[in-house]
Chains A and B, each alone.
Chain A
Amino acid sequence: MMQFTHTAPPPPPLHPNGHGLGLGLYLDVGATRGGGGARPWSSSSSTTTLGGSGYFPSSAAASKISLGNLNSTGCMEQLLVHCANAIEANDATLTQQILWVLNNIAPADGDSNQRLTAAFLCALVSRASRTGACKAVTAAVADAVESAALHVHRFTAVELASFIDLTPWHRFGYTAANAAIVEAVEGFPVVHIVDLSTTHCMQIPTLIDMLAGRAEGPPILRLTVADVAPSAPPPALDMPYEELGAKLVNFARSRNMSMDFRVVPTSPADALTSLVDQLRVQQLVSDGGEALVVNCHMLLHTVPDETAGSVSLTTAQPPVSLRTMLLKSLRALDPTLVVVVDEDADFTAGDVVGRLRAAFNFLWIPYDAVDTFLLKGSEQRRWYEAEVGWKVENVLAQEGVERVERQEDRARWGQRMRAAGFRAAAFGEEAAGEVKAMLNDHAAGWGMKREDDDLVLTWKGHNVVFASAWAPS
């Protein structure tokens, strides 16, 4: 900007009113022409982008260039797709052009579509800098990614609890799963919950509360948590699991429930093998009076699917994906119940353009919904959008095991579960009722519907998250 023409550091210019957000593109041509003397930012007409330079015949009007329908979502998607294509084609020039246009029509503080596009733009830049014509910089990029990881907010447990509480995105799954679990473990004196979740046990307190209040008295609760720390998607927790577990045990004690907490470090990249092995050993010594529940909350999709390659266990069998392998090994544990909660989207396309389209047509929802529960500029909102941004970046820019956002839609998970030897266990009226009651706490755009035996969270009618319950068939 024109402050570069000054040798003395100018005071930080204040433009209280000059953002022009959501109105398309404002070209601050005035600032480019201003010359050494004028300081556009100090003029009172901060609403226009023109700095009062006399070179323009129609000053204010000419300085505002609205890109009008560039702001439509379809257009933005097209631009992003073209950009992705250009990157894939190693067409640096075209990439650069489109990035520039996108940058101007999609300020990261714009409306929800613009913020959505900005996140995708960011992800594409990330991808561009590590592929094709820019491969030379891969090493530097790796460095940058590492340091970027430092900037993911690390929540305290209490912080995370209130953060997750803002939206039904996770609460929907919690509520539905808890209802199904409590119903399934009725009468069991010992309940073993295996929590495969990305949200650090935030579901567990309410489950403890429900189990503690059940008619036949509280069961003995055993909780096994998968710690997938290095590759875990956000949110990140600023607390070791041991400490978190101690709090949960203490809470259970306050509800007169005895509880046992265990953490198993494991990795989705090897299909949670270490965890499954431990469970297998425990099953061997179990006397059968224990209900084993596997609660899969948004973590299963981080296990590589077929598009990430397959493994051959034996030469006799065809190779299977790690995802299939995991489900089969879970089935072998003969669990009382398996709950699968995940986002109803498909990010497994092999080509980046396919993933881009899928992600763009799903991840608009968090941006669209956020206005109903977080103020612009709030800290939590930055955390929230950073989390979505992380997801976009992972889907678009990462490959191989680094790409952990490998969501599949509800129908596909249903096929997988059935193929692994499970049958659907329908959610009862009680579960549906509790979900509905929970949704009453949130914005009117959220809804719930039943599809087959599953419950589906919707935003303005679009599927967001599904919850399904499975028992061995």
Chain B
Amino acid sequence: MEVETSSGTAERGAGAGAQQQPPPQPQPQPPAKKKRALPGMPDPDAEVIALSPKTLLATNRFVCEICNKGFQRDQNLQLHRRGHNLPWKLRQRSGKEVRKRVYVCPEPTCVHHDPSRALGDLTGIKKHFCRKHGEKKWKCDKCSKKYAVQSDWKAHTKTCGSREYRCDCGTLFSRRDSFITHRAFCDALAEESAKARAAPPPPADEDGTSASAGAPPPQAPLPPPAPVPAPAPPPPPAAAPAPAAQPEQRDRDAALDQFATPAPPPVTAPPPPPVAAPNDCVSSSSSGVAPTSQSLLSSMFAPPSVAQAPQYADPIGVGAGGHQERAVPAKPPALCLAPNASSSLFTAPVPADRQQFAPPPPPSPSPHMSATALLQKAAQMGATSSSSSFLRCLGLDMSSSSSAPPSSSGQQQQHHHHHHQETMQVPLPASSLPEWPPRLQPEPSPMLSSGLGLGLPYDATGGPVSLPELMMGQSTLFSAKPATLDFLGLGVSPTGASTSRGFPTFIQPIGGAVSLAGSATVAAETFGAAHGGQANPWERNPSSSPIL
């Protein structure tokens, strides 16, 4: 900075002040970097100084003759001598008479060997020489990164393992691997490279030497290049490496500089961090889409949460379907398996269901839902094909009421491959609407549980209920009350007018199967093994809490 500022600063650069001033550091903010002048463009009037490598590498070359203590700077030695009561002399600044000094690198192949690219301060040239041409003898114990300059190493070790990598796009990384991978694919690198190729290639300093040795921009946020009044600077603190003040930035920047092309990086608005929700994933769907990923099959049993579906010919498909492609399979309307069969029974048990009504978190176009979609497809097909299919068991008793021609649903399907809700809505028989509200009869609660095919004993405490019990039902609950059987649709033909009791055909297969003696036996056999399941030696803890 001395290069571009007043002669007062220039003098500090030439004298002891160079040590006092924090050596220009790589700027922490990429935008600041951009404004930085190219390193090593000194004042043509400046005095060019060439120091030998030995001198540059020498530490503590000013030695006290009394105690042999060494100092990096003469001024510090002079102060030290004062303590021994020896004669001492602090160099007085003499204003404009002192010529500005610049320093060249002794390495002949180095660009800074040329006086026209000399560096403006002694510390800068020393660090440049060490970093660029010296041995990297300081190794970080944690990450094995090596440094030639001790202060660099010190700064690094303070932040190693913490947030120290920052991409030009603004994203911070705590791990080098993460940073590197991001960096390779981030557009910021591409832009920088493009600029670098466009600009005349300045010296590529891998370790940021060029940055630190060069002149920082006038508007550098830190360190402030306050022009110190020329006369009598206070004795400089002993060799305190200024960079320690900003270890993090320094290190981060060093990391950056490994990748940053020397050319000024482009000033672009930092792209949003990549982790942030990308726009292309945001669906505009407004009705609870995301939560549906939760009760994936509740769809099979639960009527669509869009209660008005039966009333409106195509509530979703027309109203909102156009912009909900991604989320469609996850949408509650998609769950509209058999709307007219909206079994109140089956809706009931799934609390997750209600989440569908919760304020929608971001939509979840989850592949999970594809199974539901499959079922819906199957449902359609089933409606037009065999009535004894699996689908029939899902309550898709379309044959009894389907007034919509299958072909129309087929068309719809062609046009809206992923608008399942539409395809499902279309076949809705208008004739079923009047019957829509199931005429629910008050039932004693035990029958309800039987009706669910579970025959559960009520267990308010949530105590364990074994599976066989579940599937078989407690005999008392299950068979004692005719009402229960009726409720289950026993004796009602699968395709028949179950609605006469206000219960959709949908549930009949289940209830019937379970309550029928034969089926119950099957269930018992099938689930008998569940007893063994409890003694499963699987060691995993089902509670699944993070073990952190």
Contacts and interface: CB of A to CB of B under 8 A. Distances in A.
Contacts of A175: 177
Contact of B519 (A62, A93, A95, A444): A93
Interface in A226-248: 238, 244, 247-248
Contact of B348 (A27, A103, A165, A238): A27
Contact of A208 (B184, B386, B418): B184
A369 to B, nearest CB: 8
A147 B390 contact: no
B198 interface: no
A387 to B, nearest CB: 8
Interface of B: 174-175, 177-178, 180-187, 189-190, 193, 204, 259, 261, 274-275, 277-278, 280-281, 287-288, 290-291, 293-298, 300-303, 305-308, 310-312, 325-326, 329, 342, 344-355, 357-359, 361-362, 364-378, 380-382, 385-386, 388-394, 413, 417-418, 420, 436-438, 440, 442-445, 448-449, 452-454, 456, 458-467, 470-471, 509-510, 513-514, 519, 522-523, 526-527, 529-530, 532-536, 538, 540, 542-548
A382 B184 contact: no
A109 B375 contact: no
B275 to A, nearest CB: 5
A229 B386 CA distance: 37
Chain A interface SS verdict (over half)? helix
A10 interface: yes
A147 to B, nearest CB: 4
Contacts of B463: 66, 68
B526 A94 contact: yes
A5 B438 contact: yes
B110 to A, nearest CB: 17
A455 B460 CA distance: 49
Given A13-B357, A108-B294, A140-B381, A23 B462 contact: yes
Contacts of A364: 540
Contacts of B288: 12
Contacts of A147: 329, 370, 373, 417-418
Interface stretch (A14-22, A288-296, A347-355, A407-415): A14-22
A78 B348 CA distance: 25
A443 interface: yes
15 contacts: A1-B354, A8-B308, A10-B308, A31-B347, A32-B448, A55-B444, A69-B534, A72-B534, A104-B349, A123-B371, A148-B329, A158-B186, A161-B178, A379-B277, A386-B368
A206 B180 contact: yes
A137 B342 contact: no
B290 A382 contact: yes
B418 A70 contact: no
A244 B185 CA distance: 8
B465 A1 contact: no
Contact of B373 (A4, A121, A144): A144
A156 B301 CA distance: 37
Given A147-B418, A460-B540, 15 more contacts: A5-B438, A23-B462, A32-B448, A74-B533, A79-B527, A101-B470, A103-B295, A129-B374, A137-B391, A141-B374, A141-B377, A148-B370, A162-B275, A250-B190, A379-B362
Given A100-B453, A101-B470, A144 B370 contact: yes
Interface string A85-114: 110000011111111111110011111110
B352 A250 contact: no
Contact of B347 (A28, A81, A247): A28
A97 B548 contact: no
B348 A1 contact: yes
Nearest to A119: B368
B391 A157 contact: no
A36 B280 CA distance: 42
A77 B533 contact: yes
B94 to A, nearest CB: 47
B381 A136 contact: yes
B177 A206 contact: yes
Contact of B366 (A67, A145, A386): A386
A443 B548 contact: yes
B378 A129 contact: yes
A95 B548 CA distance: 39
Given A31-B348, A75-B530, A385 B542 contact: no
A436 interface: no
A70 B459 CA distance: 14
B259 A254 contact: yes
B391 A134 contact: yes
Interface in A385-431: 385-386, 389-390, 393
Contacts of B547: 372, 443-445, 460
Contacts of A28: 347-351, 353-354
A136 B293 contact: no
A100 B510 contact: yes
Given A108-B293, A208-B184, A143 B546 contact: no
Nearest to A95: B390
Contact of A55 (B204, B275, B445, B465): B445
B257 to A, nearest CB: 11
B344 A144 contact: no
B296 A98 contact: no
For the complex of A and B, the 10 pairs showing the least CB-CB separation, nearest first, are A74-B536, A148-B370, A109-B294, A66-B462, A3-B307, A205-B184, A112-B544, A68-B464, A9-B308, A61-B460
B178 A165 contact: yes
Given A75-B530, A95-B393, A382-B364, A371 B544 contact: yes
A389 B442 contact: no
A198 B383 CA distance: 40
A86 B526 contact: yes
A252 B20 CA distance: 39
